[in-house]
Amino acid sequence: MFDELKRELDSIMARDPAARSRWEVYFLYSGFKAVRAYRKSHWLYEHGHYFLARWISQRARHKTGIEIHPGAKIGRGLFIDHGMGVVIGETTEIGDDCTLYQNVTLGGTGKDKGKRHPTLGNNVLIGSGAKVLGPFRVGDNARVAAGAVVLSEVPDNATAVGVPARVVRINGEKPAECTSMALDQVHVSDPVEQALQELRCEMGGLEQQFCHRKHTEPSEDE
């Protein structure tokens, strides 16, 4: 028990340069408190004590601003940074060592039955304000940019940005010639800028084709 608690605290300290001690994380971090409350409520939920499980989760929501349904399945080392406004739905599954920033929603679209919420692999990062909506998978080591709206699967080791989100890097490489920069949580291009960049690339390609044809086709004087 104490080894697992130590691991949770250390995993947060490794990802948050502002954390100065385990005591600080334990007593002052709302995300840590919300996850601890989830562990209790999930145990009750798994043993059929649904009302008490929801009561604990709702108390944690009022105290931390983070709502985690007790039916969600969450692995080890989840770090919810800043935390306010985070919502994790009932059928969400989260792997180990994932990071969520404030105002993230792991929700459904209202169209699905049964499994309605996303599945996150291991070591996934979801930027602030991002929405991941639907019963699909976000792969291991994937990154979702701040403000993105993800409506379809994200491969392993991929970066997704925009509204709706699209994959712009896989394994550190651009999947197409003209895509935006990888996520760094600061310098993330907005969707309009991405579209303009693609348009510039297309225009550059057309100009090259025009110049090539101009130099290869015979002139009228000949």
Is residue 145 classed as helix, strand or coil in its secondary structure?
Answer: coil
Whether pLDDT at 165 is above 60: yes
Q: How many other β-carbons are positioned within 10 Å of the β-carbon of residue 181?
A: 15
Query: What mean pLDDT is predicted for residues 158-187?
Result: 71
| For residues 146-154, average pLDDT | 95
Whether this prediction's pTM lies above 0.95 is answered by: no
Give SS3 for 186: coil
Peptide bond into 135 cis (omega under 30): no
Beta strands in 5-82 (DSSP E): 67-68, 73-74, 79-80
Q: Quick one: fold of 2-214?
A: UDP N-Acetylglucosamine Acyltransferase; domain 1 (2.160.10)
pLDDT tens digit sequence for 105-142: 999 988 878 899 999 999 999 999 999 999 999 999 99
- Angstrom CA distances, 97 to 17, 21, 130, 139, 153, stand at 16, 19, 18, 13, 20
Domain boundaries, the chain: 2-214
pLDDT tens for 8-29 read 999 999 999 999 999 999 999 9
